[in-house]
Amino acid sequence: MTTKLNALALVLFLAVAVIAVNLGARAVLGSAKLDLTEGKLYTLTDASRRIARSAEEPLRLTLFFSRSIAREEPGLLAYGQRVESLLREYASASRGTPGEIRVSVIDPEPFSEAEDQAVAAGIAPIPMSDGRQVYIGLVGTNSTTGQEVIPSLGDVSERFLEYEVSRLISVLAQPERPVVGLLTSLPMGGAPATPTTPARQPWQVFAAMRGLLDVRMLGPDVQQIDDDVDVLMLAHPKGLTDRARFTIDQWVLSGKPAVVLLDPLCEADIPSDAQQNPMALMNADRTSDLPELLEAWGVRMDPGLIAGDLENAQSVQVASRPGTAAEVTRYLPWLDLGPEYIDGESALTGRVSRLMFGTSGYIQPALPPEGEAPAASVTITPLVTTSDETMLLDAERFRFGVQPAQLLSEFASRGEGVTLAALVEGDFVTAFPEGLPGVGEDMLNAGRGRVLLFADADLLADRFWVQSQTMFGQVVGFQRVSDNGDMLISALETLSGNADLVEVRARGRYTRPFTVVQDLRADAEQRYNAEQRELQERLEQTQERILELQSQRPEDDTTLLSDEQARQIEEFQQELIDTRRRLRQVRLELNREVDALGARVKFINIALLPAAVALAAVGLGLARRASAQRDRANVAARERGSAA
């Protein structure tokens, strides 16, 4: 009886000890955790931590999450919990700063005041199959009137979840609209009508910029850029004075970001008198290049070459000869680029999936003269590239027009792609080492800079990213056909809002597929498809043989099938049965391999690992017991020695 009471007391003591340890650990360690995932998926990046601590006033993040409904959807519940955990990481990182972040979670149950609050805040519901609506959106507010909303986190790729939250916090911490200094030779802002030319409407990308950013126009002779300008944008800059280039040089060396769009042949750069004088277009200088600045930034763009990509060439309609019907063909210098040619890890381009470029150049590192060290120490991160089926085309031949079919007939791949857009950052040097006459001695000779560089300016033109929608001859709206404008505005916001945002890249994948099983299935599918193709080929061969036999049958033979045909069909049917049996065998072997692998994994997780832990515990216990026995023996020996 005493033994049972002792055992019961021991169990109760252990239970109380476990509870006490958990409560004590929670009180002492708080939200401390150990992130052992590849890529530290559950740990904020250093850049996000700096953003969390950047605000000068308290911020509040309110997560509207339909937890009660999401309990029935394990995937949605796990995602919502992941979002909540991430927000609390930001709150923890901001602790002790003037802009401490407070997080609250609201469950907008159907027909509740919380649901009305979510709708009023602009949170978009996600409809479910049973007719109910789920909310999972984020509202951020500062201590004044600033408010930012992510209407539906369900539309945000989990890999960019940290970026979107960091961006929201960054905007709240700096509520003023970013200021962009725009220098361009293109009629992006439109132009009034003249006696010889009709009015030009503003480009859609310019209208979008004016709606979200404070855009200040700069001239080709700019001598100073205001201190409150957050980012400098150069779009097809032509005719710049030496003083303007020097001003740009000093801007970049000061550490402020720049977005530069150059072009070997800008198709959107059309002289105002081109309609009355076609030769004006042919003779116009439609090239923009800043060779001395690019050299100082460690990059170069050959203004005489255009990138042509056979794999990504846009399809166009063109008549081979006047008066003939138009035919669809590919035009090598007009590029339609999918996600595989866009850096999905960068905060600047990771959220776009389709870009269109027109007669673009390409970017490459600037090689120093032989025996000399590079002037600038920079990192060039390609953001948009072409496929390996790329050919470099002479820009001069496009001045007078070229037929798409002719380009296709002359195509010869260089065997590797080229870079169309890149982020250049690092230690830059000045392009004016001897200074500039009339400028003071307080110039910068070196500095750490960041330049987002494009080898194409046509990507800004409406034709490469929107299509107008008309009604009764009037334009009533625009439909996006690419992500060009969205990418540019997002990049301007990112670069101007907070430099740390550029460092918040896409995270790894949180759902880790069982790649071994996927490989097994892929291998079996490959074998299955090979069998299927073989069966189809045999079917076609047999049908051809039957037709051949039928053509050899005498005209007066009225039998439906000859003996030879019947034999052929019988052989094919048997062959069909055998092939289907082989296909079933492939599937059966696949299932056996997957089941065997699953059994091994279950054995390891359920039996082997616990057994290993138990053996380790037993071994540790035995080692401690042996050590205690040795200690007691040593003590006893010393006592006997003392007594003697």
> What's the Cα-to-Cα distance from 342 to each of 356, 378, 487, 495, 565, rounded to whole Å?
11, 21, 11, 18, 57
Q: What is the mean pLDDT of residues 421-439?
A: 91
Angle (CA) 287 244 292, round 5°: 55
Does the pLDDT at position 340 exceed 90? yes
pLDDT of residue 206: 94
Q: What is the mean pLDDT of residues 575-601?
A: 66
Q: What is the mean pLDDT of residues 379-396?
A: 96
Does the pLDDT at position 475 exceed 80? no
Residues 161 and 92: their CA atoms lie apart, in Å, by 17
Name the pLDDT band for 71 (thresholds 50, 70, 90).
confident
pLDDT of residue 30: 47
In this structure, the strands spanning 377-385 and 419-429 are: antiparallel
The tens digit of pLDDT for each residue in 624-634 reads 777 778 877 77
Does the pLDDT at position 150 exceed 80? yes
Q: What percent of the chain has pLDDT over 90?
A: 41
Q: What is the mean pLDDT of residues 377-387?
A: 95
Residues 296 and 248: their CA atoms lie apart, in Å, by 12
Question: Average pLDDT of the chain?
Answer: 81
The tens digit of pLDDT for each residue in 309-339 reads 999 999 988 765 666 667 788 999 999 999 9
Q: What is the mean pLDDT of residues 218-228?
A: 94
Residues 204 and 210: their CA atoms lie apart, in Å, by 10
pLDDT of residue 365: 94
Does the pLDDT at position 369 exceed 90? no
Q: What is the mean pLDDT of residues 268-286?
A: 76
457 vs 352, higher pLDDT: 457
638 vs 591, higher pLDDT: 638
pLDDT of residue 425: 94
pLDDT of residue 19: 61
Highest mean pLDDT among 73-82, 505-514, 543-552: 73-82
Of 35-44, 96-105, 247-256, the least confident = 35-44
Q: Residue 490: which of 610, 400, 355 has the closest Cα? A: 355
pLDDT of residue 42: 65
Residues 596 and 577: their CA atoms lie apart, in Å, by 28
Does the pLDDT at position 527 exceed 50? yes
Q: What is the mean pLDDT of residues 248-253?
A: 96
Of 227-231, 325-329, 361-365, the least confident = 325-329
Residues 261 and 99: their CA atoms lie apart, in Å, by 37
pLDDT of residue 510: 47
387 vs 131, higher pLDDT: 387
Angle (CA) 76 80 86, round 5°: 145
3-class DSSP assignment, residue 633: helix
The tens digit of pLDDT for each residue in 167-197 reads 899 888 877 888 999 999 999 998 777 776 6
Q: What percent of the chain has pLDDT over 70?
A: 70
C-beta separation of 138 from 168 below 8 A: yes
DSSP 388: S
Does the pLDDT at position 24 exceed 70? no
Residues 337 and 355: their CA atoms lie apart, in Å, by 5
